[in-house]
């Protein structure tokens, strides 16, 4: 007993010093970093590393470790300070005390704070205008008999086994635009992601059967579900902020882990067909591959020069296709991270991609209402692009296309547009109809 007490006495100052570091650095992250980061170093001051913070800005050192009273970083947050930081706000007494104690303790650095999920900023949601119904997500049920269309805040279900693909129901309950949709493998449940909210739905009764709302900070732009239907991955982030991935236990409806995956918003997530890895595509121009079990980074795919908007695996997970706002589709060798194939005519940005489960057809759609079905992909040899794949162009639709889904036989392609319409093509690229909003 005594030994324990002794140990506690020795450890507790250390432990609390560590906690203070995190608390103080969260103040920097949440209240200061927005104006003191690369590209926006107000007053010449960067608060991204301890060295830069100490080096300071136009007026010299911002922190003198051990001496809060000589540190502008502390002095300028006090109520009477001029200039005052942040310029138009008074941070709380507790935040000021945390900075004071931290600087007195020598201002130790703990960069992991910058990778934490920030606190969700308060928002008041204005109702979505009824006319705003971009089809941000599409999902074909595993039996290929139904199509889920996310249009604005609702999800419509259509019967693909009937000639005109009639609407058979709608899911309503989200307040904001539905960003992502997945079916469970048994086709019984639909899972949708919106703003700070994941909902589960009975696909037959179209009733909401549950929701998960904790811990999210922004739009849940992508979802991926494991084959055992137990684990759901969700992409999250504030607009323009870092991209986080949550690992969620669907049975317990609990977030098990969250990690910072990208420096900017994530647009797409895909699980590899072998169920081992998770791919992400983001606005930071990168695609990344994660170990599904522990969320460790396996590799980064660097080469796009603009946002990576979509990602897909081939059949045996040896290749990864990425679609970029840089108007290129790149097909990567998953292991070597080399670019096997580059597709596209460099004229239009690709917004969404889908690879048929047999790996034979890769479908991509564009911001200009077009797209292509690529088959027989061949590796590059040098500069020629034209020979890298067989290409069937999708006859142009109207509007910007945001989402795509394809049947396993590659004979039916669906793409959702910004005006709420879903366009249909056959395997040769001929337009065969549309589903009105
Ligand atoms: C909305 C933008 C903004 C935020 C947020 C902000 N600052 Fe500043 N900061 C500025 C500007 C602008 C200046 C230059 C002010 C001037 O010279 O009058 C500045 C200057 C400074 C300086 C002086 C740099 C120098 O050498 O001249 C310090 C120190 C500083 N800020 C600390 C902080 C801290 C600490 C926070 C958070 C508690 C913070 N700032 C939040 C905009 C911001």
**pLDDT by residue, tens only, the chain of 437 residues:** 444 555 555 554 455 556 589 999 999 998 999 899 988 899 999 999 999 999 999 999 999 999 999 999 999 999 999 999 999 999 999 999 999 999 999 999 999 998 888 878 888 878 888 888 999 999 999 999 999 999 999 999 999 999 999 999 999 999 899 999 999 999 999 999 999 999 999 999 999 999 999 879 999 999 999 999 999 999 999 988 899 999 999 999 999 999 999 999 999 999 999 889 999 999 999 999 999 988 999 999 999 999 999 999 999 999 999 999 999 999 999 999 999 899 988 899 999 999 999 999 999 999 999 999 999 988 776 555 556 889 999 998 888 999 999 999 999 999 999 999 999 999 999 999 999 88
- 59 CA closest ligand 1 atom index: 26
> Is 324 close to ligand 1, i.e. is its CB under 6 Å away?
no
Distance 80 CA to ligand 1 centre (A): 15
**Quick one: pLDDT at residue 1?**
40
Dist. CA 158 → ligand 1 center (Å): 54
CA distance 414 to 405: 5
16 three-class SS: helix
Q: Which numeric CATH code is attached to 137-435?
A: 2.130.10.10
Provide the pLDDT for residue 2.
47
Query: Which numbered atom of ligand 1 lies nearest the CA of 62?
Result: 29
CA 265 – CA 98 distance, rounded (Å): 30
**Residue range(s) occupied by CATH 2.130.10.10 in the chain:** 137-435
Instruction: Identify the pLDDT of residue 5.
Output: 52
Nearest CA to ligand 1 atom 13: 43
Q: Residue whose CA is closest, atom 9 of ligand 1?
A: 42
> 82 in ligand 1 pocket by Cβ < 6 Å?
no
Measured from the CB, is residue 59 less than 6 Å from ligand 1? yes
Is 99's C-beta closer than 6 angstroms to any atom of ligand 1?
no
Residues in the chain: 437
Residue 388 Cβ inside 6 Å of ligand 1? The answer reads no
Distance 122 CA to ligand 1 centre (A): 23
Residue 14: what pLDDT?
Answer: 52
Question: Does a cis peptide bond (omega within 30 degrees of 0) precede residue 169?
Answer: no
DSSP alpha helices (H): ranges in 125-251?
Answer: none
Measure the CA–CA gap between 30 and 41, rounded to whole angstroms: 16
CB 138 within 8 A of CB 404: yes
Mutate to test the pocket of ligand 1, among 27, 28, 36 (most ligand atoms within 8 A of CB): 36
Residue 399 backbone phi and psi in degrees, to 5: 85, 175
CA–centroid distance, residue 85 to ligand 1 (Å): 5
Q: At what angle do helices 2-27 and 93-104 cross, to 10 degrees?
A: 110
43 lines ligand 1 (CB under 6 A): yes
**Which residue's alpha carbon is nearest to atom 28 within ligand 1?**
73
Q: State residue 16's pLDDT score.
A: 55
């Amino acid at each position: 007993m005594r030994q324990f007490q002794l140990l506690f006495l020795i450890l507790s100052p250390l432990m609390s010093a560590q906690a203070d570091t995190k608390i103080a650095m969260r103040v920097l992250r949440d209240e200061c970093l927005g104006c003191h980061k690369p590209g926006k170093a107000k007053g010449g001051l960067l608060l991204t590393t301890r060295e830069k913070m100490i080096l300071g800005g136009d007026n010299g050192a911002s922190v003198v470790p051990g001496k809060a009273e000589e540190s502008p970083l502390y002095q300028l947050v006090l109520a009477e300070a001029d200039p005052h930081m942040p310029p138009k706000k008074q941070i709380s007494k507790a935040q000021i005390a945390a900075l004071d104690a931290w600087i007195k303790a020598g201002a130790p650095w703990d960069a992991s704070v910058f990778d934490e999920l920030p606190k969700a900023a308060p928002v008041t949601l204005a109702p979505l205008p009824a006319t705003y119904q971009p089809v941000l997500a599409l999902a074909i049920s595993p039996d290929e008999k139904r199509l889920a269309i996310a249009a604005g805040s609702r999800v419509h279900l259509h019967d693909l086994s009937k000639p005109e693909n009639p609407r058979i129901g709608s899911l309503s309950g989200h307040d904001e635009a539905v960003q992502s949709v997945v079916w469970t493998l048994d086709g019984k449940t639909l899972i949708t992601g919106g703003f700070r909210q994941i909902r589960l739905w009975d696909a037959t009764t179209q009733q909401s059967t549950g929701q998960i709302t904790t811990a999210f900070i922004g739009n849940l732009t992508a979802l991926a579900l494991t084959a055992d239907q137990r684990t759901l991955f969700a992409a999250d982030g504030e607009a323009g902020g870092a991209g986080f991935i949550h690992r969620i236990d669907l049975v317990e409806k609990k977030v098990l882990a969250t990690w910072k995956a990208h420096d900017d918003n994530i647009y797409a997530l895909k699980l590899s067909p072998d169920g081992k890895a998770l791919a992400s595509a983001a606005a930071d121009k990168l695609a990344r591959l994660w170990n599904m079990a522990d969320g460790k980074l396996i590799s980064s795919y660097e080469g796009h020069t603009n946002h990576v908007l979509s990602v897909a695996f081939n059949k045996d997970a040896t290749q990864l296709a990425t679609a970029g706002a840089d108007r290129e589709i790149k097909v990567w060798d998953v292991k070597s991270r080399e670019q096997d194939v580059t597709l596209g005519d460099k004229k239009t940005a690709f917004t969404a991609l889908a690879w048929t489960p047999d790996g034979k057809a890769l479908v991509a759609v564009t911001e200009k209402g077009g797209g292509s079905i690529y088959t027989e992909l061949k590796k590059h040899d040098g500069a020629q692009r034209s020979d890298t794949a067989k290409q069937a162009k999708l006859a142009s639709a109207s509007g910007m296309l945001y989402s795509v889904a394809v049947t396993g036989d590659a004979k039916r392609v669906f793409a959702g547009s910004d005006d709420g319409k879903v366009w249909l093509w056959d395997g040769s690229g001929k337009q065969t109809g549309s589903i009105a909003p």
